[in-house]
C-alpha cells in the first residue's frame, strides 16, 4: 500500500512539473488545448523541418505595403520602398543559401504586384471576401462563447483600409492553397505623435497568438530569427513591443481569425527615423546585414549549413584614421562590427539601444576603441590612429 501511495505521489509531482511553463512562459501544447480545442494545430515545428528535409520548403516574402498604400513616411523615405529593397536582398540571400523556393508578392524592381497576385486579387475578390467574412464571424462567435479567450497583451495597430485587408486575406488564402510553408512580412516602424527623429528604436517581431492554428511553429521560427537580429540591433523599446516576439490575435499578416494554416510572422526591422535608415550611404549595407541575419536565423532553425558568411560587413580594409564626430560612415559601420566581433561593443554598461550599429563615431565607439587598444597593448588614444588601424586590418581585413 505504501509503495502504491509513493508511486501515485511521484506521478502527481511529475505531472505538476510537466504542467509548468517553459522558458518562454508557455505551457505544454496539451494544456493550451485544454483552454481552446477549437483550432487544430495545422503546422508543427517537426512538420516544417520534414518539409525542408524533403526539399519542398517554400517561402513567400511580403514586402509591406505597396504603391497604393505606402505605409510610414519619414525624411522622404517611404516604408513601401524600404521593404522592397530589403525583400530583394532577402530573396537573393535565401536563394544562395538553398533554403527553398522563394516567391515575392511584389515585383522587386517596379514595386507592382506580381501578375499572379494582381490577377488573384481581381478574379478571386468575391471568394476572398467570403473567406474573410466567414472566418471573422466564426472567430467573433467563439470569443463570445468563451471557447477562445482574448489575449493578455494587445498592441494597437493602424486600422487597415478595406482594400488592404482584402489583399492580406487574399495572400493568406493563396498561401494556404499553394502550400507555402512560411509567409514572412517585411515592415519598418513608426509611431503616432512622433516629433523629429523620435524616442523609439529597435526591431520587433509579431507572431500568431497561441490559440491560433499556426502559433507554435511560427513562434519557434521567429525566435530563431530574433536571436540573430539581436546580434546587430536592439529589440524595440516601444511600450508593448519589449517582449518580442509579440503574440497577436488581430494582425491579418500572421493569421488573424485562423486565416493562415502554416508558419507566418511579421518583422518590424526598425524605425524609419533611425540614423542607419535615413542615411543613404549606410542604408544599403545595413539592409544587407539585416537580410543576412534573418536568413541565418531560418537556416539555423531548419538545421541547414549556412554557405554565406555570418556578416556582410567583414572582412573590411580600413585606409584612414577615424575619430569622434564622424557620421554615416561605412568605415565606422565596419569598425563597430569588428569591435562587436571582438566582444567589446557596446562598452560595459551599455546596450545596442544606447549604442546602435549605425555608422556614427560617438562616445560609445570612442570608449570601445580605448578598450580595443588596451586589449592589444596599443597607445590608448580613443581614436583609430595608424597603429590601431594596422591592428584592425591584421585581424579583420581580407
Name the β-bridge partners of 235: 203
Q: Provide DSSP, 235-259.
A: BP-STTTTTPSEEESS-GGGTGGG-
Q: How many CB atoms lie within 10 A of CB 232?
A: 20
CA distance 214 to 61: 17
Count other Cβ atoms within 10 Å, centred on residue 178: 11
| pLDDT for the residue numbered 153 | 64
Q: What is the pLDDT of residue 39?
A: 82
Q: What is the pLDDT along the chain (398 residues), one digit of tens a residue?
A: 444 444 444 443 444 444 444 443 343 433 333 334 468 999 999 999 999 999 999 999 999 999 899 999 998 999 999 999 999 999 999 999 999 999 999 999 999 999 999 999 999 999 999 999 999 999 999 999 999 999 876 666 666 789 999 999 999 999 999 999 999 999 999 877 677 667 899 999 999 999 999 999 999 999 999 999 999 999 999 988 888 999 999 999 999 999 999 999 999 999 999 999 999 999 999 999 999 999 999 999 999 888 899 999 999 999 999 999 999 999 999 999 999 999 999 999 999 999 999 999 999 999 999 999 999 999 999 999 999 999 999 999 98
Residues 6+ apart with CB under 8 A from 220: 45, 301
Say what the pLDDT of residue 336 is. Answer: 98
Question: Rounded to 5, what percent of the chain is helix, strand, coil?
Answer: 45, 10, 45
Which value, in Å, is the radius of gyration of the alpha carbons in the chain? 24
pLDDT at site 151:
83
pLDDT at 398: 86
Question: Within 10 Å of residue 394's Cβ, how many Cβ atoms?
Answer: 9
Q: How far is CA 212 from the centre of its chain?
A: 19
**Are the CB atoms for 129 and 252 separated by under 8 Å?**
no
Q: Strands, DSSP E only, in the chain?
A: 58-63, 73-74, 77-78, 101-104, 182-189, 204-208, 246-248, 263-271
Supply the pLDDT for residue 3. Answer: 45
Separation CA 270–CA 199 (nearest Å): 12
CB atoms within 10 A of CB 18: 11
pLDDT, tens digit, 9 for 90 and up, residues 287-329? 999 999 999 999 999 998 888 999 999 999 999 999 999 999 9
Amino acid at each position: 500500500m505504501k509503495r502504491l501511495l509513493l508511486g501515485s505521489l511521484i506521478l502527481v509531482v511529475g505531472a505538476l512539473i510537466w504542467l509548468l511553463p517553459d522558458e518562454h512562459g508557455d505551457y505544454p501544447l496539451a494544456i493550451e488545448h485544454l483552454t481552446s480545442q477549437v483550432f487544430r494545430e495545422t503546422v508543427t515545428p517537426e512538420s516544417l523541418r520534414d518539409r525542408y528535409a524533403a526539399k519542398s520548403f517554400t517561402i513567400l516574402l511580403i514586402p509591406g505595403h505597396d504603391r497604393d498604400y505606402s505605409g510610414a513616411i519619414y525624411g522622404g523615405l517611404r516604408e513601401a520602398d524600404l521593404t522592397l529593397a530589403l525583400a530583394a536582398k532577402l530573396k537573393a540571400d535565401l536563394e544562395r543559401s538553398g533554403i527553398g523556393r522563394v516567391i515575392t508578392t511584389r515585383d522587386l524592381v517596379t514595386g507592382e504586384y506580381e501578375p499572379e497576385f494582381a490577377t488573384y486579387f481581381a478574379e478571386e475578390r468575391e471568394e476572398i471576401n467570403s473567406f474573410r467574412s466567414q472566418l471573422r464571424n466564426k472567430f467573433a462567435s467563439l470569443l463570445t462563447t468563451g471557447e477562445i479567450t482574448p489575449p493578455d497583451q494587445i498592441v494597437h495597430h493602424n486600422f487597415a483600409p478595406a482594400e488592404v485587408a482584402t489583399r492580406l486575406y487574399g495572400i493568406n488564402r493563396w498561401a494556404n492553397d499553394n502550400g507555402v510553408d512560411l509567409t514572412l512580412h517585411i515592415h519598418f516602424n513608426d509611431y503616432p505623435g512622433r516629433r523629429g527623429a523620435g524616442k523609439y528604436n529597435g526591431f520587433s517581431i509579431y507572431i500568431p497568438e497561441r490559440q491560433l492554428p499556426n502559433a507554435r511553429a511560427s513562434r519557434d521560427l521567429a525566435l530563431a530569427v530574433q536571436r540573430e537580429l539581436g546580434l546587430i540591433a536592439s529589440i524595440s523599446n516601444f511600450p508593448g513591443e519589449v517582449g518580442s516576439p509579440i503574440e497577436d490575435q488581430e494582425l491579418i499578416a500572421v493569421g488573424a481569425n485562423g486565416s493562415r494554416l502554416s508558419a507566418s510572422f511579421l518583422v518590424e526591422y526598425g524605425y524609419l527615423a533611425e540614423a542607419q535608415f535615413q542615411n543613404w550611404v549606410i542604408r544599403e549595407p545595413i539592409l544587407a546585414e539585416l537580410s543576412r541575419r534573418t536568413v541565418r536565423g531560418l537556416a539555423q532553425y531548419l538545421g541547414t549549413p549556412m554557405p554565406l558568411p555570418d556578416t556582410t560587413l567583414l572582412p573590411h580594409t580600413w585606409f584612414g584614421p577615424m575619430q569622434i564626430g564622424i557620421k554615416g560612415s561605412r568605415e565606422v559601420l565596419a569598425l563597430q562590427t569588428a569591435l562587436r566581433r571582438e566582444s567589446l561593443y557596446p562598452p560595459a554598461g551599455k546596450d545596442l539601444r544606447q549604442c546602435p550599429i549605425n555608422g556614427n563615431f560617438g562616445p560609445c565607439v570612442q570608449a570601445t576603441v580605448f578598450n580595443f587598444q588596451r586589449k592589444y597593448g596599443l597607445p590608448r588614444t580613443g581614436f583609430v590612429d595608424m597603429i590601431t588601424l594596422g591592428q584592425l586590418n591584421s585581424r579583420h581585413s581580407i
